[in-house]
A and B are shown apart, each in its own frame.
Chain A
Amino acid sequence: MLNKLALSGIKHRLRDYSVLFSGLIIASAIFYMFMSLATNSSFLKSNSPAQATSFIYGFGAVLLAIITIVYINYANGFLLSMRQKEYGMFMMLGAKSSKISKMIFVETFTIGAIATVLGSVIGIVATSFVSQLIIKSLDMKVTHFNSFYLPALLITFAFFIVIFIFSALKNSISIRRTKVLTLLHKDSQPARIKKNKALKVFQVILGIVFLGIGYGTMIVMGSNPVLIYLGVPVALFTIVIGTYFMINAVIIAVISALKRNKKFSQKGLNNFTLSQLSFRISDYTKILSMVAMMFALALGAITVGLGFQNQISTVVDGQNYYDVTVNNINNSQQKRIDKLNTKQVVTYSYKASKGTVYYQASEFKKTPFKYQKFNMKSMIGKTSSTTDPSNADVSYELLNNNLPRYRTSKISVVDGAKFDSIDSKANSLTLVKTKSFNKDLATIKKINQSEQKRYPELKGSGASKYDAYVMVNGIFSGLEFMGLFLGIAFLAMLASCLMFKILSGASSDVKRYNMLYKIGTRTKVLRSNINKEIAVLFAVPAGLGIIHVLIGLQMFSKILYKPYMNIEIPFGIFIILYLGYYFVTRYLYKKIVLK
Chain B
Amino acid sequence: MQKIVEVKNIEKIYGKAGEKQYKALSDVNFEVEPGEFVGIMGASGSGKTTLLNILSTLDTPTSGQVHIGGQDITKLNTNEMADFRANKIGFIFQDFNLLENLTAYENIALPLALQNTDSKKIDPAVMSISKKLGLTDILNHYPTELSGGQKQRVAAARALVHDPAIVFGDEPTGALDSKSARALLDTMSKINHEDNVSILLVTHDPFSASYCDRIIFIKDGEIGQELKRDDHTRGEFYQEILDSLGTFAE
Contact = CB atoms under 8 A, between A and B. Distances in A.
Interface of A: 190-193, 262-263, 266-272, 275-276, 278-279, 511-512, 515-525
Contacts of B217: none
B110 A271 contact: yes
B55 to A, nearest CB: 13
A193 to B, nearest CB: 7
B106 A190 contact: no
Interface in B85-115: 85-87, 89, 91, 93, 97, 99-102, 106, 109-114
B58 interface: yes
A270 B113 contact: yes
Interface stretch (B60-68, B76-84, B184-192): B76-84
Q: What is the interface of chain A mostly: helix, strand, loop, or mixed?
A: helix
Contact of B114 (A191, A193, A519, A524): A519
B167 to A, nearest CB: 12
Interface of B: 56, 58, 78-79, 82-87, 89, 91, 93, 97, 99-102, 106, 109-114, 116-117, 119, 122-123, 142-144, 158
A542 B110 CA distance: 31
Contact of A190 (B82, B100, B102): B100
A442 to B, nearest CB: 60
A521 to B, nearest CB: 6
Nearest to B86: A520
Nearest to B112: A266
Nearest to B113: A266
23 contacts: A192-B142, A193-B101, A262-B122, A263-B119, A266-B117, A266-B122, A268-B114, A272-B99, A278-B101, A279-B101, A511-B97, A519-B86, A519-B110, A519-B111, A520-B84, A520-B85, A520-B86, A520-B87, A520-B111, A522-B82, A523-B82, A524-B79, A525-B114
A275 B144 contact: no
Contacts of A518: 56, 58, 85, 91, 93, 97
Contacts, number: 84
Contacts of B78: 522-523
B119 A521 contact: no
Given A192-B144, A520-B83, A522-B82, A269 B99 contact: no
Contacts of B158: 519
Given A192-B144, A518-B97, A272 B110 contact: yes
A521 B82 CA distance: 6
Contacts of B110: 271-272, 519
Contacts of A266: 109, 112-113, 117, 119, 122
Contacts of B89: 520
B82 A267 contact: no
Contact of A262 (B56, B91, B100, B119): B119
B100 A191 contact: yes
A515 B99 contact: yes
Nearest to A259: B106
Nearest to A511: B97
